[in-house]
Structure 1
Amino acid sequence: MTVRSKLSFLLALIVQFSSALLAAQAEEQTAPESEEKSPPTFLRIHEDAGGKPLALQTAIVRYADPQNPAVYVDLVGAVHIGEQAYYDKLNDEFKNYDALLYEIVAPKGTRIPKGGPKRNGSAVSGLQNGMKDMLGLEFQLEQIDYSPANFVHADMTPEEMAADMAERGDGFLQMFARLMGAGMVQQSKGEDMNAAFLMAMLSNNRQLRMKQIFASQMDGMEGQMRAIEGKNGSTLISQRNAKAFEVLKEQLDAGKKQIGVFYGAGHFADMHRRLVEDFGLQPQSTRWLDAWDLTK
Structure 2
Amino acid sequence: MSRFPLLRALGPLLDRRLWTLVLSIMLASGAQAETKTDSDAPEFVRVKKNAADRPVALQTAIANYQSKDGNLKIALVGAVHIGEDSYYQDLNKRFKTYDAVMYELVAPEGTRVPKGHKGTNSPVSGLQNGMKDMLELEFQLEKVDYSPENFVHADMSPEEFAKDMEERGDGLLHMFARAMGQGLVQQSKGGNSDAAIMMAMFSADRAKKLRRVFATQVSDMDTAMKAIEGENGSTIISQRNAKAFEVMSKSIKDGKKNIAVFYGAGHLEDMHDRLKKDFDMQLKSVEYLDAWKLD
Instruction: Please report the TM-score for the alignment, with normalisation by the length of structure 2.
Output: 0.89
Whether the 8 Å contact between 2:64 and 2:286 is mirrored in structure 1 is: yes
Q: CA deviation at 1:282?
A: 1.4
Report the 3-state secondary structure (helix = DSSP H, G, I; strand = E; otherwise coil) of the residue aligned with 1:68: coil
**For each residue in 1:19-65, what CA deviation from the matched residue of structure 2 results, as whole angstroms up to 9, or x when unmatched?**
2566222334354xxxxx61111000000111011100000001112
Counterpart mapping for 1:44-123 below 5 A: 44-65=46-67, 67-117=68-118
Gaps of 5+ in 2: none
Give the aligned residue type for 2:101: L
Are the equivalent residues in 2 in contact too, given 1:73–1:261 (CA < 8 A)?
yes
Q: Could you tell me whether the CA contact under 8 Å between 1:76 and 1:263 is conserved in 2?
A: yes
- Read off the aligned partner of 1:26 and give its amino acid letter: Q
How many residues align? The count is 288
Would you say 1:261 and 2:261 are equivalent positions? yes
Aligned pair in 2 of structure 1 residues 228, 93: CA closer, same or farther (>3 Å)?
A: same
Displacement of 1:225 after TM fit?
Answer: 2.5
Alpha-carbon shift at residue 7 of structure 1 (Å): 4.7
Moved more, 181-190 or 274-283: 181-190
* Higher helix content, 1 or 2: 2
Q: Which amino acid aligns with 1:170?
A: D
Amino acid at match of 1:231: E
Cα distance in 1, alignment partners of residues 286 and 154 from structure 2: 23
**35, 45, 62: which one aligns with 1:43:** 45
Alpha-carbon distance between aligned partners in 1 of 2:81 and 2:128, rounded to the nearest angstrom: 11
Question: Aligned residues: percent identity?
Answer: 55
Give the C-alpha shift of residue 284 in structure 1. 0.6
- Secondary structure of 1:287's aligned partner: strand
Task: Report the residue type matching 2:23 in the other structure.
Answer: F
Mapped pair 1:274 → 2:281: no
Contact between 1:45 and 1:219, CA under 8 Å: does it hold in 2?
A: no
Partners in 2 of 1:112 and 1:16 — Cα distance?
Answer: 24
Are the counterparts in 1 of residues 57 and 293 from structure 2 also a CA contact under 8 Å?
Answer: yes
Q: Equivalences for 1:13-32 in 2 at 5 Å?
A: 14=19, 16-19=22-25, 23-27=29-33, 28-29=35-36, 31=38
Q: CA shift at 1:113, angstroms?
A: 0.6
Shift of 1:119: 7.2
Deviation of residue 231 (structure 1)?
1.4
Residue 269 (structure 1) shift: 1.1
Task: Summarize the Cα distance change of 1:18–1:24 in structure 2 as closer, same or farther, 3 Å threshold.
Answer: closer
CA distance in 2, matches of 1:279, 1:82: 31
Q: By how many angstroms is 1:263 displaced?
A: 0.3
CA 1:216/1:204 → structure 2, altered by over 3 Å: closer, same or farther? same
- Given residue 205 of structure 1, which amino acid in structure 2 is its aligned partner? D
Q: Which residue of 2 aligns with 1:214?
A: 214
Gaps of 5+ in 1: 32-36
Following superposition of structure 1 onto structure 2, how do residues 103-252 of structure 1 map, counting pairs within 5 Å? 103-117=104-118, 129-183=129-183, 186-187=186-187, 190-252=190-252
Q: 3-state DSSP class of the match of 1:261?
A: strand
Separation (CA, whole Å) in 2 of partners of 1:8 and 1:149: 39
Structure 1 residues 43 and 158: alpha-carbon distance in aligned structure 2, compared to 1, 3 A threshold: same
CA change 1:30–1:165 in 2 (3 A) is closer
Change (3 A) 1:86 1:4: closer
Offset, 1:182 = 1.8
- Tell me: CA distance 1:125–1:79, structure 2 relative to 1, closer, same or farther (3 Å): closer
Distance in structure 2 (CA, Å) of the matches to 1:44 and 1:280: 26
Query: How far apart, in 1, do the equivalents of 2:293 and 2:131 lie?
Result: 16
